[in-house]
Amino acid sequence: MSKIKVIIAGFKGRMGSTAVNMVLEQTDFDLVGLLDPFTTKIEAFGAPVFNVKEDLKGLAADVWIDFTQPSVAFENTKFALEHGFRPVIGTTGFTEEQIAELTEISCLKKLGGLIAPNFALGAVLLMQFSKSAAKYFPDVEIIELHHDKKKDAPSGTAVKTAELIAENRKSHKQGAPDELETLAGARGADVDGMRIHSVRLPGLVAHQEVIFGSVGEGLTLRHDSYDRVSFMTGVALAVREVMEVNELKYGLEHFLDL
């Protein structure tokens, strides 16, 4: 069986470098290209290094893993699809419209792919459990906690969790009807009446609590990624799965038997 040829964009970053180790460890993956805008190296880990994505045109590769930054992720994913690379995108910050546009391109090109705001299996389960709980606990607040270098807020996972909850929760404003913020932002971001709070502190990796409240009882669901290696089981799974489908998916749950 031929190996899956992989490109990694953002290979020097916290997530990208963890992905490099994962790809090198898999016997059925082959690292064939690396992208970073500022590196002066021409080769690393046995693969050629590129500074601009346009130079990757024509490279014999199957999958484009992306852990870069929100400002370039959309253009990178579009480029990957337009040049025949199946995207496995961990970079966060996509809008609904961007995901819709990329899905349309993938369908036209008949190329599989995945955008996943969280590749940790436990985080995907937390999102699914939250969606189920929302049927019976419509009042909920999300607290996401990340390291202090994270560029976007709220996290893609928190937004995705809120979207899944919204599928089972009737839209309504939570808290007192005459609630007044005496300090702006005290109640967090408002998504359909539920609140998202973003914590940024050194020492953290990626964590999320979903707190449901009801009459006389509460339910708290929590997931912790203590190490970036926690995301790699999902990335490896996605690299194999995108080879089997002809459309871009949003969320790792599409490739899990839940």
Is there a catalytic annotation at residue 172? no
| Neighbour count for residue 103 (Cβ, 10 Å) | 17
Distance between CA atoms of residues 8 and 59, nearest Å:
13
Is residue 15 marked as binding? yes
Is position 36 an interface residue for ligand NAP (rule: CB under 6 A)? yes
Q: Which of 23, 33, 49, 67 binds ligand NAP (CB under 6 A)?
A: 67
Q: Which of 6, 7, 8, 10 binds ligand NAP (CB under 6 A)?
A: 10
Q: How far from chain centre, in Å, is Cα 152?
A: 12
Burial (CB count <10 Å: 0-12, 13-18, 19+), residue 184: exposed
Distance between CA atoms of residues 73 and 114, nearest Å:
13
Shortest distance, position 220 Cβ to ligand NAP, whole Å: 22
Q: Which of 4, 6, 8, 12 binds ligand NAP (CB under 6 A)?
A: 12
Q: Which of 7, 16, 198, 250 binds ligand NAP (CB under 6 A)?
A: 16
Is residue 110 marked as binding? no
Is position 33 an interface residue for ligand NAP (rule: CB under 6 A)? no
Binding mask 118-157 for ligand NAP (x = CB under 6 A): xx------------------------------x-------
Is position 7 an interface residue for ligand NAP (rule: CB under 6 A)? no
Cβ distance 74 to 49 under 8 Å? no
Longest dimension (CA), the chain: 64
Is there a catalytic annotation at residue 197? no
| Neighbour count for residue 151 (Cβ, 10 Å) | 10
Distance between CA atoms of residues 141 and 116, nearest Å:
22
Q: Which of 20, 61, 88, 116 binds ligand NAP (CB under 6 A)?
A: 116
Distance between CA atoms of residues 57 and 80, nearest Å:
9
Please list the active-site residues.
146, 150
Which residues of this chain interact with ligand NAP, rule CB under 6 A? 9-10, 12-16, 35-38, 67-70, 72, 90-92, 116-119, 150, 206, 231
